[in-house]
Chain A
């Protein structure tokens, strides 16, 4: 049994799951630190942080990484029980990832104008 898919879409999804996972170790570490160890969060403190372009970019990238890793991970589990795959599940997964990123982009920009 090979651990690495041979080629095509499966290989890219496999690779992305690992790349996003490695980046999330760092990204979620920073996110958890900011959220839990830097004092009480207020609307103002969050708005002030997000008005800095670097932090806005960090949060947007983090959401994109997390959305892919989480939803693709759930899809991997579903596929373990349904190895032939399902087009509907793939479409739902892709839609969820896009929806998460768009929803968060809207919220993050809303914080900036507080």
Chain B
């Protein structure tokens, strides 16, 4: 139903009813997907290419940064959690409760990022 933008109360109700959560999830899924896909190529070249050389520890340390690792974990956790929701919805389990599913899975992802990120940063 169309909402007049001058009707502040109606706009507020509309935003509560449809908070564009699905759109944000879609956009973030796409952004994290591109980031992870672009990450995997140099990751394979840099880490994988050490196989024929000694001194892996030095090379790994030179390319690792706890903050970047935590950001990587955050991108993976979001993409995996939201992807799980997409699979559930695509296969007919949860289309009617997809926003609730999203909330639950985002809490799971947040716990993974907080616990895992704290371990990385406190290493």
Closest B residue to A21 by CB, please name it. Answer: B83
Closest B residue to A71 by CB, please name it. Answer: B37
Say whether B34 contacts A107, CB under 8 Å.
no
Cβ contacts under 8 Å, B51 to chain A: 46, 107-108, 110-111, 114
B37 is contacted by which of A24, A40, A74, A111 (Cβ under 8 Å)? A74
B76 is contacted by which of A32, A46, A71, A77 (Cβ under 8 Å)? A32
Which residues in window 101-123 of B have CB below 8 A to A?
A: 116, 119-120
Per-residue B-contact encoding for A1-27, CB less than 8 Å = 1, 0 else: 001100000000000001001101100
Cβ contacts under 8 Å, B67 to chain A: none
Number of interface residues of B (CB under 8 A): 33
B60 is contacted by which of A21, A41, A71 (Cβ under 8 Å)? A41
Across the A-B interface, give the 5 residue pairs with the lowest CB-CB distance, nearest first.
A110-B51, A43-B56, A107-B48, A70-B37, A111-B51
Per DSSP, chain B at the interface is helix
22 of the cross-chain contacts (CB-CB < 8 Å) are A3-B90, A4-B90, A18-B91, A22-B83, A22-B87, A24-B80, A25-B80, A29-B80, A40-B57, A43-B56, A46-B51, A46-B56, A70-B36, A70-B40, A73-B33, A74-B34, A100-B44, A104-B48, A107-B44, A110-B51, A110-B52, A114-B54
Which residues in window 55-78 of A have CB below 8 A to B?
A: 63, 66, 70-71, 73-74, 77
State whether A107 and B30 are in contact (beta carbons under 8 Å apart), knowing that A21-B83, A41-B57, A70-B37 are contacts in the complex.
no
Per DSSP, chain A at the interface is helix
User: B25: shortest Cβ distance to chain A, in Å?
Assistant: 15
Q: Give bound CA distance, A73 to B37, whole Å.
A: 8
Say whether A43 contacts B37, CB under 8 Å.
no
Say whether B34 contacts A104, CB under 8 Å.
no
Judged by a CB distance under 8 angstroms, whether B49 is at the interface is: yes
Which residues in window 74-104 of A have CB below 8 A to B?
A: 74, 77, 100, 103-104
Judged by a CB distance under 8 angstroms, whether B84 is at the interface is: yes
Say whether B80 contacts A66, CB under 8 Å.
no
User: A24: shortest Cβ distance to chain B, in Å?
Assistant: 8
Say whether A25 contacts B34, CB under 8 Å.
no
Closest A residue to B41 by CB, please name it. Answer: A100
